């Protein structure tokens, strides 16, 4: 087929998501026009999803060094040292745009993709967490997306045998057109078995493992993940990948077996941009070239063109580098696991990625040009007017008891058990604290021992508060995640993040992104926690406007004894209750403010030193058994934290809160990651730094006074009914 003329090819480039200037740069760098195969490859590799062209410069400002760091940014997943020669690998990624088009498969393949990222570095996946955002549940579309995404996550995780141990779900109007589906995976590996993705050794073979290649997912990274969604999204349904968790299970076991036998030089999963990204990125990291012959690629659909094969995002595939003398051994292991394996190319010393079709060259590109897309400077400018309208008012009562009931039954705060019950949280027998038992999930490192060292993990974010103040809100996400670990008794070792924002070419979105990254960096440095990797998802925007700026933070920590992991439930009548932390609550950006229809307003600045001291005090108290429950104060404020601890344990409480502003601010004001509600023996609680005893556990209800003045009293039965019904009613 003859190459189109320059104007036609330039127009085709724009159709594929490149700009006119980017196409012109490609022509200059190559010294010629790209052919159709090459243009398709560039359209994916230079997309926002693959190239991070509006965010890479900002990501370089995040702290990425730490004493326990084993693998940092740039690999499929980051990893930290948990002692005894063991590493914990983890990462969070988005599958937002596919899930907005086809929620079941979009969410399911999001789980599959993040699992592959973890076992691509040689770690066995042991846990999944998810962070979900949808429009208001009054919307039929949002309920459809919610049900489909939850079902997809449960289907994939349950089928492959990896427990889903935590996560979050929120409903806000700005996510109506663009839902967020972020998935985090955590895995374990011997540090000696960890493998990198850099290709090496000219003459070594490229071997494709796993499922055959089809047209599913073609253009996903450019069509779906690097552009705004609007009218006609249903036509993009073919760009959503189709997952097979049972095939992935075999691929997982096969990959780990190959690594155990030391048969691989390098390993890389096939995600966005398929063979194009995996082959070119492996070559770039190793400073080598690669030849790929598409005629050797096993196909699921006949008649696929070379460009389709190179950018297909079919799931459950891995690419590995193998020395020729070990090929037969690799194929034998793959046959044992019933995983198809085919040598499709070889490593070269050319520094070029050549695509062959039965030996004929159909694409020939210098690896650096393909991988190093243009990087853009943002043009940030704060919005002249609030970009988000005030939410609809749903609460008119001024009675604090009514407010607490309304908060407990609101979709953002109601019990998540209707969601978690669709996931298996205990498969693999490591789970010590499952969802709703503690602020963070806790898994023991050695399930055979039943106790001993454990790891805790949490996934958090609050877009509404980031919209109120991007820098402070993003920092709060870090502090909140670390607070969840502290309440479980764990010390944070590393952090992964997923940055979900609107169109970065718009000044106010660029400002949100720039400020949020600065807030993340500030909080990570304050806590001494390195960023080990993550993901960026931009263009989450529709004609109605952008989503709330939503940096999602995942964190992993360690605790010495699984048996001492914290719980959030009040445990025993007569126990004292204390507030720990320098708590300075505000109603700005709070859940109560949303229910009352208040516009977004600036949230207070967090106090990093006070937060660090509070985390240390609670973490140490949990580890040494000086508290019987620990729960951080977040959405809904002190009143909600007390209600959740009471409901979780089936024990009421009577407290008298210190005055922290007016009555509603004291009860429902928020300041994330800054304070904890703990219970235990009064003498033990008074020994905690900064602790103030505020009441005791007991009774069949929750009775709260503020500064000695009665504020609210509701029975556990009434509170429990609201809490349990809030989210359950959304499932058909």
Nearest to 637 by CA among 662, 607, 671: 671
User: Using an 8 Å Cβ cutoff, are 617 and 690 in contact?
Assistant: yes
User: What pLDDT shows up at residue 4?
Assistant: 45
Cα-Cα end-to-end distance for the chain: 52
Task: Please indicate whether residue 49 is annotated as part of the active site.
Answer: yes
- 410-414+567-732: CATH topology is Phosphoribosyl-aminoimidazole Synthetase; Chain A, domain 2 (3.90.650)
Q: How do residues 287-310 score in pLDDT, each as one tens digit?
A: 999 999 999 999 999 999 999 999
Which option is the CATH number for 1-64+195-373: 1.10.8.50, 2.30.29.30, 3.90.650.10, 3.40.50.10300? 3.90.650.10
Task: Please indicate whether residue 588 is annotated as part of the active site.
Answer: no
User: What pLDDT shows up at residue 731?
Assistant: 76
What is the pTM assigned to this prediction?
Answer: 0.95
Q: State percent of the chain over pLDDT 70.
A: 96
Helix (H, G, I), strand (E, B) or coil at 130: strand
Selecting among 54, 95, 469, 631, the annotated active-site residue is 95
User: What pLDDT shows up at residue 7?
Assistant: 58
- The total of other beta-carbon atoms located within 10 Å of residue 335's CB is 12
Q: How do residues 558-567 score in pLDDT, each as one tens digit?
A: 999 999 999 9
Edge-to-edge strand list for the sheet holding 69-71: 69-71, 78-81, 86-94, 180-190, 124-134, 164-171
Tell me the helix, strand and coil percentages in the chain, rounded to 5: 40, 25, 40
The C-alpha R_g of the chain, in whole angstroms, comes to 26
User: What pLDDT shows up at residue 219?
Assistant: 60
User: What pLDDT shows up at residue 218?
Assistant: 81
User: What pLDDT shows up at residue 730?
Assistant: 84
| Distance separating alpha carbons of residues 291 and 204, to the nearest angstrom | 11
Selecting among 49, 54, 155, 615, the annotated active-site residue is 49
Give the tokens for residue 549: 């700026």
Domain with CATH 3.90.650.10 in the chain: 1-64+195-373, 410-414+567-732
Residue ranges of the chain with pLDDT lower than 50? 1-6, 221-238
């Amino acid at each position: 087929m003859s190459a189109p003329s320059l104007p036609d090819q330039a127009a085709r480039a724009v159709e594929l998501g490149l700009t006119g200037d980017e196409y012109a740069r490609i022509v200059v760098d190559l010294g010629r026009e790209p052919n159709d195969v090459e243009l398709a490859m560039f359209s994916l590799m230079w997309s926002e999803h693959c190239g991070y062209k509006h965010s890479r410069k900002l990501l370089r400002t995040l702290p990425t060094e730490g004493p326990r760091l084993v693998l940092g940014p740039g690999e499929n997943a980051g990893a930290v040292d948990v002692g005894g020669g063991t590493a914990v690998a983890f990462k969070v990624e988005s599958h937002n745009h596919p899930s907005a088009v086809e929620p079941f498969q979009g969410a399911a393949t999001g789980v599959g993709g993040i699992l592959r990222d973890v076992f691509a570095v040689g770690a066995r996946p042991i846990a999944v967490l998810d962070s979900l955002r949808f429009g208001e549940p009054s919307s039929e579309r949002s309920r459809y997306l919610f049900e489909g995404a939850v079902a997809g996550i449960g289907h994939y995780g349950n089928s492959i045998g990896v427990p889903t141990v935590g996560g979050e779900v929120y409903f806000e109007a700005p996510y109506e057109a663009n839902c967020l589906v972020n998935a985090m995976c955590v895995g374990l590996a011997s540090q000696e078995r960890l493998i990198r993705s850099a290709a090496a050794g000219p003459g070594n073979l490229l071997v494709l493992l796993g499922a055959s290649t089809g047209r599913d997912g073609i253009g996903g990274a450019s069509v779906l993940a690097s552009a705004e969604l609007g009218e006609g999204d249903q036509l993009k349904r073919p760009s959503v990948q189709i997952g097979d968790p049972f095939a992935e299970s075999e691929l997982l076991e096969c990959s780990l077996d190959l690594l155990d036998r030391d048969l691989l030089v390098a390993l890389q999963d096939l995600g966005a941009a398929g063979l194009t990204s995996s082959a070119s990125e492996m070559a770039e990291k190793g400073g080598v070239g690669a030849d790929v012959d598409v005629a050797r690629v096993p196909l699921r659909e006949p008649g696929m063109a070379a460009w389709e094969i190179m950018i297909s995002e079919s799931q459950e595939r891995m690419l590995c580098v193998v020395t020729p003398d070990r090929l037969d051994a690799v194929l034998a292991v793959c046959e044992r696991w019933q995983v198809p394996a085919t040598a499709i190319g070889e490593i070269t010393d050319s520094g070029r990625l050549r695509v062959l079709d039965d030996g004929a060259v159909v694409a020939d590109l210098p690896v650096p040009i393909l991988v190093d897309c243009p990087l853009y400077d943002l043009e940030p400018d704060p919005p002249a007017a609030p970009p988000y309208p005030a939410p609809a008012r749903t609460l008119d009562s001024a009675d604090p008891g009514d407010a607490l009931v309304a908060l407990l039954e609101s979709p953002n705060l109601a019990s998540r058990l209707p969601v978690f019950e669709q996931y298996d949280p205990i498969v693999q027998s490591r789970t010590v604290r499952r969802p709703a038992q503690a602020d963070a999930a806790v898994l023991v490192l050695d399930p055979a021992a039943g106790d001993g060292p454990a790891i805790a993990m949490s996934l958090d974010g609050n877009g509404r508060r980031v919209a109120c103040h991007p820098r402070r809100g993003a920092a709060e996400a870090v502090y909140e995640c670390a607070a969840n670990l502290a309440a479980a008794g764990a010390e944070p070792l590393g952090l992964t993040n997923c940055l979900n924002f609107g169109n970065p070419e718009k000044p106010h979105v660029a400002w949100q992104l720039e400020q949020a990254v600065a807030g993340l960096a500030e909080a990570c440095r304050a806590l001494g926690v390195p960023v080990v990797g993550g993901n960026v998802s931009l263009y989450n925007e529709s004609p109605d406007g952008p989503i709330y700026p939503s940096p999602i933070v995942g964190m992993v920590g360690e605790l010495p004894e699984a048996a001492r992991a914290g719980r959030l439930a009040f445990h025993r009548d007569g126990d004292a209750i204390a507030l720990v932390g320098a708590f300075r609550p505000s109603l700005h950006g709070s859940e109560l403010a949303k229910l009352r229809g208040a516009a977004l307003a600036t949230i207070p600045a967090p106090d990093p030193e006070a937060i660090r001291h509070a985390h240390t005090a609670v973490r140490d108290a949990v580890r040494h058994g000086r508290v019987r429950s620990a729960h951080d104060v977040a959405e809904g404020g002190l009143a909600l934290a007390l209600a959740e601890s009471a409901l979780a344990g089936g024990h009421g409480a009577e407290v008298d809160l210190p005055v922290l502003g007016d009555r509603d601010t004291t009860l429902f004001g928020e300041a994330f990651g800054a304070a904890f509600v703990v219970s235990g023996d009064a003498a033990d609680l008074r020994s905690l730094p900064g602790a103030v005893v505020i009441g005791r556990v007991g009774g069949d209800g929750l009775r709260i006074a503020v500064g000695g003045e009665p504020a609210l009293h509701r029975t556990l039965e009434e509170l429990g009914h609201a809490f349990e019904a809030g989210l359950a009613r959304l499932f058909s």
